[in-house]
Amino acid sequence: MRTSEKADALLALARLETQLAALRLKVMAAADDVAEESGARDVAAWLAHESRENPTACRAEQHLALALDTRCTRLGTAVAEGAVNLAQAKVIARALGDLPDDLDPELLVRAEEHLVEAASEYRPDQLRVLGRRILDVIAPDVGEAEEAKQLAREEERAWETTSLTLTRRGDGTTRLTGVLPDAAATRLATYLDAFTSPRSRVVEQRAPATAASRPRSRGRDAGAVVETTAMPQHRARGQAFIALLEHLDPAKLPAHGGDATTVMVTINHDSLTKDLATAGLLGTDDKITAAQARRLACTAQILPVVLGGKSEILDLGRTRRLFSRAQHKAMRIRDTRCRGENCTIPATWTEAHHWKPWSKGGKTDLADGVLLCSHHHHRAHDARYSSERMPNGDIRFHRRT
């Protein structure tokens, strides 16, 4: 077959498939007697059993068959002619079914005609958008009021179906699965995007230059090869969600257990100064590293509870250990950006870090504060790295050997 013949054949076969499916739906709409004779609940249940097809798919076909045979006869004719495919027909039938019951029959006819005609140009997803606003097209004076009613119904349904599930995976991670109203999801995405800016994070991986690697792009340092990879958005948003939780103000949350909602981290005083040690989250069996506890104490609204040898409380950190808003502003003016060496993340996207950890007597003052982006702040508390403060105030990190 020539290329043009293949193209014609594909379109002709698609049209024939639609017409064959339309015939099946037409028979299905008139097959109540088949279900009655066999004692099946309906023809969809009978067909699913006899043909071993998916019951849900058969039931959807039955609903569409009845709609094309009764309410949407013009649409049924277009499907039978192969002018509208099944995917488009399902969208159009649903859009017409969502129109108010008391709508003027003439408007219903105009809506059906308009959507059937539009099917010659638009995909199912585009028809879905048009179908939701069909009254704005054929009757603008009716459309706005009806859209408001439809949105109210959707919001109520979204609120009733909202859910959030936390499932422990047993490997140190928890799977978060949920369904949110669109408006809430948009707010969450907006907040997370504030933490992920710039949208494409670039990770530099440095390796010694070799003869094989020299032709590739080089980094700033002589003899070093730089490979740049953009962090996937789903991972960036996951890390942003963690940052969002760390920046919540417990004083503005509902009371929990008779007091302000607060997460407390318990850690032994000796462990606090060690690189390889663990801390516990009060009220759970969860463990975090001492490095993570020290990092959280810098900026997150978390109370570090330091225990002595007999588990007596030696120190209960308070939010005054955190830098104030005024201090943040002063540091933003002073530093202008993340002070990690060569980092260009602006100060508005950084976190305040104690250069001398509070666990070692550090003070929450401007001289001891330094702004670091999330990446460099994690690195500052990573036991695998050492750091030094450069004469210009930047922080240089070294991988420990």
Q: What is the pLDDT of residues 291-342, one digit of tens each?
A: 666 666 555 555 555 555 444 434 444 344 567 777 777 788 788 889 998 8
- The pLDDT, as a whole number, for residue 190 is 81
Confidence of residue 250 (pLDDT cuts 50, 70, 90): low
Q: Which residue has the higher pLDDT, 359 or 312?
A: 359
Instruction: Tell me the three-class secondary structure of the chain, residue by residue.
Output: CCHHHHHHHHHHHHHHHHHHHHHHHHHHHCCHHHHHHHCCCCHHHHHHHHHCCCHHHHHHHHHHHHHHHCCCHHHHHHHHCCCCCHHHHHHHHHHHHCCCCCCCHHHHHHHHHHHHHHCCCCCHHHHHHHHHCHHHHHCHHHHHHHHHHHHHHHHHHHHHHCEEEEEECCCCCEEEEEECCHHHHHHHHHHHHHHHCCCCCEEEEEEECCCCCCCCCECCCCCEEEEEEECCHHHHHHHHHHHHHHCCCHHHCCCECCECCCEEEEEEHHHHCCCCCEEEECCCCCEEEHHHHHHHHHHCCEEEEEECCCCCEEEECCHHHCCCHHHHHHHHHHHCECCECCCCCEHHHCEEEECCCHHHCCCCCHHHEEEECHHHHHHHCCCCEEEEECCCCCEEEEECC
The residue among 11 and 277 whose pLDDT is bigger is: 11
In this predicted model, what pLDDT tens digit does every residue of 146-179 receive, in sequence order?
766 777 777 888 888 999 999 988 888 899 999 9
pTM (2 decimals)? Answer: 0.43
